[in-house]
Amino acid sequence: MSSYQLPQDLAQQVSFNEAGLVPAIAQDVSSGVVLMMAWMNAEALAATLATQRGTYWSRSRQELWVKGETSGHTQTVRSVHLDCDGDTVLLQVEQRGPACHTGSESCFTDREIMLENSAEGNNL
């Protein structure tokens, strides 16, 4: 993969953690479903902006990875947003195939944690 450089003005807006990473949430641009969370470093964010393909940093492999490069389940990035603190990236994507490595549409499928008193309709 070519080396991508994040423009300095944008790099100053992103609050990378002590490891040089920022969480990135991928959301389906049409349905609004939250698909997955992954990490980005400055190069992954720069590559995503340049290629419009979801590109992330693998903490276990210590390398960039492009969503769908091996599975074929690609993400075409339609917009990129920073939250108000600059410490989370939101990618709105067109997902082709499942987003989760388990084969589910979303990494947040079938793992709901029940709230205490949820039967009584209490909300947080």
**pLDDT tens digits along 43-56:** 999 999 999 999 99
The reported pTM is 0.87
Instruction: Please say whether the beta carbons of 54 and 97 come within 8 A.
Output: no
Residue type for position 95: Q
List binding-site positions. 83-85, 87, 100, 107
* Residue 51 pLDDT: 97
**pLDDT tens digits along 62-111:** 999 999 999 999 999 999 999 999 999 999 999 999 999 888 999 998 77
CB neighbours (10 Å) of residue 35? 25
Q: Residue 59 is encoded by which pair of tokens?
A: 């903490």
List binding-site positions for Zn(2+). 84, 100, 107
List binding-site positions for Mg(2+). 83, 85, 87
Instruction: List Cβ neighbours of 14 (8 Å cut-off, separation of 6 or more).
Output: 6, 22, 42, 45, 82, 86, 87, 89
Instruction: Report the distance separating Cα 40 and Cα 17, nearest Å.
Output: 10
Instruction: Please say whether the beta carbons of 39 and 11 come within 8 A.
Output: no
